[in-house]
């Protein structure tokens, strides 16, 4: 049985989460408090002593990370729920159970609770999964939420062909043929995607290795499914050739 509190400044997020809990885990999760800020959350932790906290990251005043940092000893598990994908790796460094993107997908939420149950069972057996395992789990079958001028667009990671950097911006090319301009550096995308079959092959380019159709060695270019040819830098050539399979 989980005693949970929700800390999120968005009312719609509260309501979605409460509905999912009521529908999917009515006997396993009891919501003790719903809080709109990190400060309210601390008071709720002291009052209710929860063993599970659903925590937003980007909140007015203090962030979700600030909330965690304010405790000397953590006696609860944390599931981060946020609209921003770029905090994922940091969240797992805070030993989060999972990291869910808004709007919350019901199947992802169910998987998180099952993962939590498994994690607690492993703790009891002194077999806690390490950070790399958690990150790998996160990146599998995961959507990437990217902030564009029109709003947040959610893409299946496996549907991304490539990313092209342009100063402090990045163009994200999807398999559908759509292109998105994101106010993030290429390094930001490299940090998130490098463990998920993506490789930086040039100072301005990251590619999805699974979308390669041809490697033009003489031209030092890589051709992808959409016909685009991406330059391969000399410094990236050795790592690239290690990552591809040639028979």
Span 27-37, mean pLDDT?
95
Given a cut of 90, whether residue 153 has pLDDT beyond it is no
Amino acid 116: pLDDT = 84
Amino acid 103: pLDDT = 87
Q: Among residues 139, 158, 180, which one ends one of the domains?
A: 139
Provide the CATH number for the domain around residue 90.
3.40.50.2300
Q: Among residues 117, 139, 161, which one ends one of the domains?
A: 139
Clarify whether residues 129 and 176 are in a common domain.
no
* Unique residue bearing structure tokens 């019901």: 106
Q: Domain limits at 17?
A: 2-139
Average pLDDT, the chain: 86
For 175-228, write each residue's pLDDT tens digit. Answer: 999 999 888 889 888 888 877 789 999 999 999 999 999 999 899 999 999 999
Q: Is 68 helix (H, G, I), strand (E, B) or coil?
A: helix
Clarify whether residues 18 and 70 are in a common domain.
yes
Q: Among residues 111, 139, 167, which one ends one of the domains?
A: 139
140 band by pLDDT with thresholds 50, 70 and 90: low
Lowest mean pLDDT among 76-80, 153-157, 200-204, 229-233: 153-157
Clarify whether residues 59 and 165 are in a common domain.
no
C-alpha dist (Å) from residue 222 to 46, 78, 163, 181, 198: 56, 41, 14, 22, 13
Given a cut of 60, whether residue 132 has pLDDT beyond it is no
C-alpha dist (Å) from residue 57 to 128, 130, 156: 24, 22, 22
Lowest mean pLDDT among 6-10, 109-113, 135-139: 135-139
135 band by pLDDT with thresholds 50, 70 and 90: low
Strand blocks (E) in the chain = 2-7, 29-35, 52-55, 77-82, 98-101, 143-148, 151-156, 160-166, 169-174, 179-182, 198-202, 205-208, 212-216, 221-224, 229-231
Residues 6+ positions from 244 with CB-CB distance below 8 Å: 209, 212, 215
Given a cut of 70, whether residue 146 has pLDDT beyond it is yes
Domains contained in the chain, number: 2
Amino acid 16: pLDDT = 92
Given a cut of 70, whether residue 125 has pLDDT beyond it is no
- Produce one character per residue of 175-184: b if its CB has 16 or more CB atoms within 10 Å, e if not: beeeebebeb
For 39-67, write each residue's pLDDT tens digit. Answer: 999 999 999 999 999 999 999 999 999 99
């Amino acid at each position: 049985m989980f005693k949970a509190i929700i800390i999120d400044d968005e009312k719609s997020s509260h309501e979605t989460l409460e509905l999912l809990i009521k529908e999917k885990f009515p006997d396993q999760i009891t919501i003790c408090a719903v809080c709109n800020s990190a400060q309210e959350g601390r008071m709720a932790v002291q009052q209710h002593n929860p063993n599970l906290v659903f925590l937003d990251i980007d909140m007015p005043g203090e962030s979700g990370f600030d909330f965690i940092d304010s405790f000397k000893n953590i006696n609860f598990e944390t599931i981060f729920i946020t609209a921003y994908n770029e905090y994922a790796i940091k969240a797992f460094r805070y030993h989060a159970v999972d990291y869910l993107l808004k709007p919350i997908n019901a199947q992802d939420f169910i998987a998180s609770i099952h993962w939590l149950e498994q994690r607690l069972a492993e703790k009891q057996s002194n077999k806690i999964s390490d950070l790399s395992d958690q990150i790998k789990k996160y990146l599998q079958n995961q959507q990437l939420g990217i902030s564009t001028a029109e709003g947040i667009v959610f893409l299946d990671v496996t549907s991304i062909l490539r990313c092209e950097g342009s100063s402090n911006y990045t163009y994200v090319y999807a398999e559908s043929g759509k292109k998105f301009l994101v106010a993030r550096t290429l390094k930001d995308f490299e940090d998130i995607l490098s463990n998920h079959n993506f490789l930086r092959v040039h100072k301005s380019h990251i590619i999805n290795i699974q979308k390669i159709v041809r490697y033009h060695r003489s031209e030092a270019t890589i051709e992808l499914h959409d016909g685009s040819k991406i330059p391969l830098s000399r410094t990236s050539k050795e790592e690239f050739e290690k990552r591809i399979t040639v028979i």
